């Protein structure tokens, strides 16, 4: 799991905080679909409503792909939040775009992958957010089963969980993110989104998110 560039990581985190795509509530945590309690909620889809930020993120993802995945021939978005980011990116790079469903379409062709399936084609997967990596790596597996040569994955933000690092390493998939939790925390304090006193609990959450409690 790599972060594309230190200055980019800080700037992306700052922009996401400014538009409230990232919210930090250590004393009033969110509940994720998994049941985990979390002091952070990240919804990068909000960036799509801000043209300047949307364009900046798109261009940085394009640079990350150019620097890390030469020979890419198509872009694959992960449903649902990776679809708009991936489509914007594919348009910028002048490449074909496909997207991967979380489960097969329930009617018609019952597709798992939407778009032209080209076995052997080199593809980079686009995610908006990586937590444990489970759904992201499932999309990679589905693309491989369809015959694609998956070069790796890019994402806007990651929490940087050890579990995610282990999952990507085990799968042999290179992940490059624009920003991460470690880049976010100092900015959140500097711009008064949280206090210095909150840092300890925020750092403890990232170390063990499945059992974390604000109490």
The annotation places the binding site at: 101, 105, 107, 127-135
8 A C-beta contact, residue 115 and residue 142:
no
Which residues, at least 6 apart from 61, have a Cβ–Cβ distance to it below 8 Å? 85, 89, 126, 154, 156, 178
Known binding-site positions for orotate: 131
Q: Which residues of 36-49 are buried (b: 16+ CB within 10 A; e: fewer)?
A: bbbbbebebeebbe
Cα separation, 144 vs 184, in Å, equals: 33
Which three-class secondary structure state does DSSP give residue 13? helix
Nearest one of 116, 126, 123 to 88, comparing CA atoms: 126
Please report where in the chains the tokens 């499945």 appear, as a residue. 210
Known binding-site positions for 5-phospho-alpha-D-ribose 1-diphosphate: 101, 105, 107, 127-135
> Torsion-angle region of residue 168: left (phi > 0), alpha (psi -120 to 50) or beta?
alpha
């Amino acid at each position: 799991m790599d972060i594309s560039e230190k200055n980019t990581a800080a700037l992306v985190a700052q922009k996401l905080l400014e538009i409230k795509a990232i919210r930090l509530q250590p004393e009033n945590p969110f509940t994720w679909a998994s049941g985990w309690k979390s002091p952070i909620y990240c919804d990068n889809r909000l960036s799509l409503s801000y043209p300047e930020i949307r364009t900046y993120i798109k261009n940085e993802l394009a640079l990350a792909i150019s620097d890390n995945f030469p020979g890419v021939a198509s872009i694959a978005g992960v449903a649902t939040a990776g679809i708009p980011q991936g489509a914007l990116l594919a348009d910028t790079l002048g490449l074909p775009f496909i997207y991967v469903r979380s489960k097969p379409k329930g009617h018609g062709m019952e597709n798992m992958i939407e778009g032209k399936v080209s076995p052997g084609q080199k593809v980079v997967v686009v995610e908006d957010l990586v937590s444990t990596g489970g759904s992201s790596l499932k999309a990679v597996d589905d693309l491989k089963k369809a015959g694609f040569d998956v070069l790796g994955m890019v994402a806007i933000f990651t929490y940087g969980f050890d579990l995610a690092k282990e999952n990507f390493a085990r799968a042999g998939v290179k992940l490059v993110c624009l920003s991460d939790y470690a880049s976010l925390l100092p900015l959140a304090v500097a711009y008064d989104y949280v206090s210095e006193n909150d840092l300890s609990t925020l750092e403890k959450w990232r170390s063990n998110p499945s059992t974390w409690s604000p109490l």
